[in-house]
Structure 1
Amino acid sequence: MSTIVFNNNSKTLGLLRVSQEQTNAINGPDYKKYIKILYLPAGYKLRVDFACYDTQQPTLFFISPNQYLELETAGEESGYFIFYNRDFYCIQIHDQEVACDGLLFNNIRNMPKVEVSEDEIPFLKHLFAEMTQEFQIDDSSLEEMVRTYLKQLLIRATRSWKRQHLNSLVTEQQNDLEFFRKFTRLVEEHYKTKHTVADYADSLCMAPKTITHKFNRLRLPQPNEVIKNRIILEAKRLLAHTSLTAKEIAYHLGYNDPAYFSRLFMTKTGESPSGFRTKFLS
């Protein structure tokens, strides 16, 4: 199956089968600007930002436009690759429909993935087959039908993510789950200007200590670490993929004292910004 694409004004969604022959295209610049969903059977190896993943079973990966994707090795069985833009479907605008922002995307662990159980595989294969068939029909209702399949995929994956990554107590406490999502969305939106837990306390209408207690109950890293880790991740991306100097990156991330930022980077990574860039490029 070659790439099949829906385009209507500024709205785009495409689907293609994944095999070794498509890896160069997927890794290339054409898909960088899109939101991406990968369904990969066992035997695939990929890199997202600075982490490598090997699929031991069918797995869904959810990748934002600001993340760097490299599909290194394809397995024997072909997978699926969906790409779309926010004009086609924006999870922030339609948060009440799928409630996946902060879980599948913009997650504090930075790599939302969902391992697919045996009983879920038939549903996903059927969904991809129906989506493929819909493109072949090319009816006037194509856009809405394909969007419906996308929403089904996001909803099912969100349910699976919660089962796999949060303990049952948290999933039963809707307030805690919504706090988790809201905090991660706020960090993703403001990490360049808000660097401490206190900076987020006002937006969440709670004391910094209350945020820390909630994180402890959710069995998550300390909130201050979450904020700093997101800042350092962006610094790594800029060091690896741009020619900005460490001083320029410090200013870009909201630090008026580049020396302080370099010390923070050293503390979190064990190497200087220049050392990280040299190591990555070599």
Structure 2
Amino acid sequence: MVILRISEVAIQFHSDFYCIHKISQETNCDKLVFNNIYECPFIYIDELTSNKLEPLIDQFKDEFSESSDGEYRLLVPTLIIFLVTIARKKAEEKTTEIIYTETNTPFILRKLKNAIEENYKEKHSAGDYATLLNISPNALAKIVKSHFNKTLTNLINERIIIEAKRELYLTSKSIKEISWELGYSDEHYFSRFFKANTDISPQMYRDTVGFGKAELN
């Protein structure tokens, strides 16, 4: 679930509805706005950006109040403009954000995030990453829990699920092929893993949220 808070306004939509897995190239928000699965992203909006966003918020409100067919046809194009505006603002602050993040995140966790990004397709257990970072599993687990309020297994699984959803939505690869690429030789085990983390099977996800037709269009 994605929640954008602007002043006293909250815009809530599921990440599968738009942006991260759908047509992220239009907004670039998967690389700029929602680019950190480990922490909630924050962007400080200046007055100029706020003045650009407020009319869009009013348009959201108008569409919800005026639509009688429940289709809300203007929501997606308005959301595109909204997210592009935020992404551009985030791009301006990227250097500052990197400095802030680097000074406020423990060094071992910065190494952990890099390790997950590089190895999540091959290494799935918390013990694997403790070994990579040369730290005891218990010590690493405590640091992760205190900083992210999640288990290390949660972090690893979230990264795998993000990639699985992307592949299910944006490609026509078979579920067996996707599971193999993500390091699961047993397609049925992967399906159970996916469902345990999303409450929906990979095939149902593809049929209802994603369509897996991007390569065919």
TM-score category of the 2 structures, normalised to the smaller one = 0.5 to 0.7
1:154 pairs, out of 90, 94, 106, with 94
| d(CA) in 2 for partners of 1:82, 1:239 | 19
Paired AA for residue 218 in structure 1: H
| d(CA) in 2 for partners of 1:219, 1:106 | 15
Q: Percent identity?
A: 28
Q: Deviations over 1:191-240 (max 9, x none)?
A: 00000011111211101111101112214310101101111111111111
Q: Which moved more, 1:153-162 or 1:206-215?
A: 153-162
Secondary structure at 2:106's aligned position in 1?
helix
Paired residue for 1:167?
Answer: none
| d(CA) in 2 for partners of 1:151, 1:182 | 23
Q: Kindly tell me: are residues 50 and 197 of structure 1, through their superposed partners in 2, closer, same or farther at Cα, counting changes over 3 Å?
A: same
2:44 pairs, out of 103, 107, 116, with 116
Q: Kindly tell me: are residues 278 and 122 of structure 1, through their superposed partners in 2, closer, same or farther at Cα, counting changes over 3 Å?
A: closer
1:216 pairs, out of 145, 148, 151, with 145
1:241 pairs, out of 157, 170, 182, with 170
Paired AA for residue 259 in structure 1: H
| d(CA) in 2 for partners of 1:50, 1:271 | 13
Q: Please report how far the alpha carbon of residue 114 of structure 1 lies from its aligned counterpart in structure 2 after TM superposition.
A: 2.9
Q: Please report how far the alpha carbon of residue 109 of structure 1 lies from its aligned counterpart in structure 2 after TM superposition.
A: 3.5
- Does structure 2 retain, via aligned residues, the 8 Å contact 1:193–1:254? yes
1:69 corresponds to 2:24? yes
* CA RMSD, 1 decimal: 4.1
- Does structure 1 retain, via aligned residues, the 8 Å contact 2:122–2:182? yes
Paired AA for residue 69 in structure 1: S
| d(CA) in 1 for partners of 2:98, 2:177 | 37
Paired residue for 1:17?
Answer: none
Q: Kindly tell me: are residues 68 and 113 of structure 1, through their superposed partners in 2, closer, same or farther at Cα, counting changes over 3 Å?
A: farther
What is the TM-score of this pair, normalised by structure 2?
Answer: 0.60
| d(CA) in 1 for partners of 2:25, 2:28 | 15
- Does structure 1 retain, via aligned residues, the 8 Å contact 2:170–2:210? no
1:207 corresponds to 2:136? yes
Paired AA for residue 237 in structure 1: R
Q: Kindly tell me: are residues 70 and 217 of structure 1, through their superposed partners in 2, closer, same or farther at Cα, counting changes over 3 Å?
A: same
The correspondence of residues 157-196 of structure 1 with structure 2, limited to 5 A, is 157-158=97-98, 171=104, 177-196=106-125
- Does structure 1 retain, via aligned residues, the 8 Å contact 2:33–2:41? yes
Q: Deviations over 1:122-146 (max 9, x none)?
A: 799xxxxxxxxxxxxxxxxxxxxxx
| d(CA) in 2 for partners of 1:211, 1:104 | 27
Task: Give the strand-richer structure, 1 or 2.
Answer: 1
Paired AA for residue 24 in structure 2: L
Q: Which moved more, 1:216-225 or 1:197-206?
A: 216-225
Q: Kindly tell me: are residues 270 and 151 of structure 1, through their superposed partners in 2, closer, same or farther at Cα, counting changes over 3 Å?
A: closer
Task: Give the helix-richer structure, 1 or 2.
Answer: 2
| d(CA) in 2 for partners of 1:123, 1:281 | 36
Q: Kindly tell me: are residues 46 and 185 of structure 1, through their superposed partners in 2, closer, same or farther at Cα, counting changes over 3 Å?
A: farther
Q: Please report how far the alpha carbon of residue 49 of structure 1 lies from its aligned counterpart in structure 2 after TM superposition.
A: 5.6
Unaligned stretches of 5+ residues in structure 2 = 1-5, 50-89, 212-217
Q: Please report how far the alpha carbon of residue 105 of structure 1 lies from its aligned counterpart in structure 2 after TM superposition.
A: 8.3
What is the TM-score of this pair, normalised by structure 1?
Answer: 0.47
Secondary structure at 2:132's aligned position in 1?
helix
| d(CA) in 2 for partners of 1:178, 1:123 | 35
Unaligned stretches of 5+ residues in structure 1 = 1-40, 54-62, 72-80, 84-102, 125-149, 163-169
